[in-house]
Chain A
Amino acid sequence: MKKAIITVVGKDTVGIIARVCSYLAENTVNILDISQTIVDGYFNMMMIVDISASEKKISTMVTELEGVGNDLGVVIHMQLEEIFTKMHRI
C-alpha cells in the first residue's frame, strides 16, 4: 500500500468533498480515512488515501488536484504520507 495525504483548505462551499472524491474514484485512488473540521468558517479536510492502484504518476495527480482546487476556490495538496510520519513519529 502506498499512502498519500490530501488536504483541502479554503472557504466552505457546496460539493468540495464530492468533487475531490469523484476525481479520486476516476483515478482508482482508494480513500482510507477522512477527517474534516470548519475553523473560523474555513473548510479544513484531510484524507488518507491509497494510491497503489492508480496508474497516474503522483506528480501528475498533485497537479490535477491543484487544478480541481482552483475550480472550487480552495487549496488542495496531495503529498506522500512519509513526510508526515517521518516528522511526527519516531
Chain B
Amino acid sequence: MINIFEVNETNNMIEHECLDVRTITIGINLLDCVRFDVKSTCDAIYEKITRIAKDLVSTGNEIGKEYGVPIVNKRISVTPIALVGSSICKTTEDFVEIAKTLNRAAIQVGVNFIGGYSALCSKGMTKSDELLIRSIPQALAQTEYVCSSVNVGSTKTGMNMDAIRLLGTIVKETAELTKEQDSLGCAKLVVFCNAPDDNPFMAGAFHGVTEADAIINVGVSGPGVVKAALTQCRGANFEVLCETIKKTAFKITRVGQLVAQEASRRLGIPFGIIDLSLAPTPAVGDSVAEILEEIGLEKVGAPGTTAALALLNDQVKKGGVMASSYVGGLSGAFIPVSEDHGMIEAAQCGALTLEKLEAMTCVCSVGLDMIAIPGDTTAATISGIIADEAAIGMVNQKTTAVRIIPVVGKGVGDTVEFGGLLGYAPVMPVNQYSCEKFISREGRIPAPIHSFKN
C-alpha cells in the first residue's frame, strides 16, 4: 500500500518542483475534409476540429483536478495543410483562409495552439507546398494560435536546399509582418529535418499522414524534479548521477502515461505516444539549464556542456521508455533559449553562444530553439543556419529544428519580450561572414551514405 512518504514525495514534486503534464495534444486527420472549394473545405475543417476536440479542455482540466497534477496545455495538431489544400488552394490567400479557419476552431474549443500549418518537402516541393510556405508570413501575422512547420530534410531523402533558401526569406518576412510584437510570428514557425509525425509539442506539432483519424499524444515535463533530485547527489559519481536521473524520469513519465490513458479513455480517442522531452518554462526552478548546472557546470555553455546534455538526454530516455507503453514525438531535452531561465542567463552573460548551442543540438532533440538574432541578419545567413542544423539531423539520423527570430529593429545587447511560456531572450550575435553563394545554389543535398540500409 502507498505510504505517506511516497505521497509526500509526489505532492512535493507537484507543489515545489514544477511537475506537470505539459500538453495533451489531439492529432486530427483533415484529409477527409477536402471539398470542391476553399469555403466548403474550411467549413468541413471547422466542423471536424470542433466536434472531435470539443471536450478536450474540460476533460484535461477534470483529469488535472482529480489527480492533483496540473495539465498546462491542451492543443491540437492537424494534417499538414499543404496536403489538405493541395487541390483547392490556388493562391497564398486561399491558404491563409484555412489558417484563419484553424484559428477560429482553436478559439472555439479553447486550446492555446493549433499546429499543422505545415509542408513536408524534404526532397522536393509540390506547387502546393511552395504556395503554403509563401503564405506562412501572412498566415502567422493574421492569426494568433496557428503554428507552422516545414520539414526540409531527412536522413532518407537528403536536404531540400531550394526550400531552405526560400525559408530564409520567409522567416525574414514573418519577422517583418509581426515587428510590432518583437517579430513574434517567427516563434510560431519551426523548420525541421526528420520531423516526427506524432510530436505533441508546439510549434512543430502536426498530425502525420501515417497516423489514425484522431489520436492523443502527451508531452510530460519536469526539469525542476530532475534538478531537485540531483541536489541530493552532489559530488557523487556518474553511476549515481545517471541512476538518479533515470529513476526521476521514470516517475515523471508514469504521470504522463496515466494522464494519457485517462484522456484517451474519457475522450474516446486512441492513445498515441508519450513524448519524453524535458520541456522547460521561463519560471525559476523549471529549467533544463539548471539541471546542467547542477550536474557541475558553472554556466551552460561552459566546456563539458555537450557531454552533460548527452548524459542527461540519454538517461531521461532510459528512465522514460520503461514507464510508458509507447514513446515517440521528439523525446529529448529541449534547449530553447527564451523559454528557459538558466539559458537566458547564460546567453546574457556570454557563456552561451549560437555555436555552442549548435553543438548541443547534436546530442539532444529539437535544435536551435527560440533564439533571438539581430533583425538585420540576411535571409541567406538564416538559410545557412537552417542548413547547418538540418545537416546535423540528416547525418545523425535524428530530429533537428530551427526556430529563430530575427527581431526587426533590434540588435545584439537588446532584449526581446515574447510573454507567457515563450519567455524573453537577449539578442544573440550571429557570425557575420556570408554564405550567400552556397545558399544560392539550386537543388538538393543527397542523402548520406549510411541511409542506404536496404
Q: Mark B121-162, 1 if CB is under 8 A from A, else 0.
A: 000000000000000000000000000000000000000000
Residue ID in chain B nearest A46 by CB atoms: B4
Measured in the bound complex, the distance between the Cα atoms of B10 and A5 in whole Å is 12
Residue ID in chain B nearest A84 by CB atoms: B2
How far does the Cβ of B300 sit from chain A's closest Cβ, in whole Å? 29
Query: Contact at B10–A80, with CB atoms within 8 Å?
Result: no
How far does the Cβ of B388 sit from chain A's closest Cβ, in whole Å? 40
17 contacts between A and B (CB under 8 A): A33-B1, A35-B3, A44-B8, A46-B4, A48-B2, A58-B66, A59-B66, A62-B66, A62-B68, A63-B65, A77-B11, A87-B6, A87-B10, A87-B254, A87-B255, A88-B6, A88-B10
> Within the complex, which residue of A7, A48, A83 is in contact with B67, where a contact is CB–CB below 8 Å?
A83
> Is residue B449 contacting chain A, with contact meaning CB distance below 8 A?
no
Measured in the bound complex, the distance between the Cα atoms of B259 and A87 in whole Å is 12
> Is residue B164 contacting chain A, with contact meaning CB distance below 8 A?
no
> Is residue A12 contacting chain B, with contact meaning CB distance below 8 A?
no
How far does the Cβ of B260 sit from chain A's closest Cβ, in whole Å? 11
Residues of B within 8 A of A7 (CB): 7-8, 11
Measured in the bound complex, the distance between the Cα atoms of B71 and A83 in whole Å is 13
Most chain B beta-carbon contacts within 10 A, residue among A48, A58, A63, A83: A83
List of 3 A-B pairs having minimum Cβ-Cβ separation, nearest first:
A79-B68, A46-B4, A86-B254
> Within the complex, which residue of B4, B251, B257 is in contact with A44, where a contact is CB–CB below 8 Å?
B4
> Is residue B62 contacting chain A, with contact meaning CB distance below 8 A?
yes
Measured in the bound complex, the distance between the Cα atoms of B61 and A63 in whole Å is 13
How far does the Cβ of A80 sit from chain B's closest Cβ, in whole Å? 5
> Is residue B69 contacting chain A, with contact meaning CB distance below 8 A?
yes
> Is residue B284 contacting chain A, with contact meaning CB distance below 8 A?
no
> Is residue B258 contacting chain A, with contact meaning CB distance below 8 A?
yes
Total A-B Cβ pairs within 8 A: 63
Residues of B within 8 A of A44 (CB): 4, 8
Query: Contact at B8–A81, with CB atoms within 8 Å?
Result: no
| A contact residues vs B (CB 8 Å cutoff) | 5, 7, 33, 35, 37, 44, 46, 48, 58-59, 62-63, 77-88
Query: Contact at B67–A80, with CB atoms within 8 Å?
Result: yes
Residue ID in chain A nearest B19 by CB atoms: A87
Q: Mark B1-37, 1 if CB is under 8 A from A, else 0.
A: 1111011111100000000000000000000000000
Most chain B beta-carbon contacts within 10 A, residue among A35, A81, A86: A86
The answer to whether residues A80 and B6 also contact, given A86-B257, A87-B254 and a CB cut-off of 8 A, is: no
Measured in the bound complex, the distance between the Cα atoms of B8 and A5 in whole Å is 11
Residues of B within 8 A of A35 (CB): 3-4
Q: Mark B64-98, 1 if CB is under 8 A from A, else 0.
A: 01111100000000000000000000000000000
How far does the Cβ of B222 sit from chain A's closest Cβ, in whole Å? 11
Within 8 A of A (CB), among B370-384: none
Residue ID in chain B nearest A77 by CB atoms: B68
> Within the complex, which residue of A5, A33, A46, A83 is in contact with B255, where a contact is CB–CB below 8 Å?
A83
Measured in the bound complex, the distance between the Cα atoms of B254 and A57 in whole Å is 24
How far does the Cβ of B324 sit from chain A's closest Cβ, in whole Å? 11
Residues of A within 8 A of B68 (CB): 62, 77-79, 83
How far does the Cβ of B311 sit from chain A's closest Cβ, in whole Å? 23
Measured in the bound complex, the distance between the Cα atoms of B66 and A40 in whole Å is 29
Measured in the bound complex, the distance between the Cα atoms of B69 and A58 in whole Å is 14
Measured in the bound complex, the distance between the Cα atoms of B251 and A87 in whole Å is 5
Query: Contact at A86–B8, with CB atoms within 8 Å?
Result: no
> Within the complex, which residue of B3, B11, B65 is in contact with A59, where a contact is CB–CB below 8 Å?
B65
Measured in the bound complex, the distance between the Cα atoms of B253 and A86 in whole Å is 10
How far does the Cβ of B65 sit from chain A's closest Cβ, in whole Å? 4
Query: Contact at B4–A88, with CB atoms within 8 Å?
Result: no
Residue ID in chain A nearest B61 by CB atoms: A59
Residues of B within 8 A of A80 (CB): 66-67
Query: Contact at A82–B2, with CB atoms within 8 Å?
Result: no
Residues of B within 8 A of A63 (CB): 65
How far does the Cβ of B11 sit from chain A's closest Cβ, in whole Å? 6
Residue ID in chain B nearest A85 by CB atoms: B2
Known contacts A79-B66, A84-B2; 16 additional CB pairs below 8 A are A5-B2, A33-B1, A35-B4, A44-B8, A46-B8, A62-B66, A77-B68, A80-B66, A82-B67, A83-B255, A84-B6, A86-B254, A87-B6, A87-B251, A87-B255, A88-B251
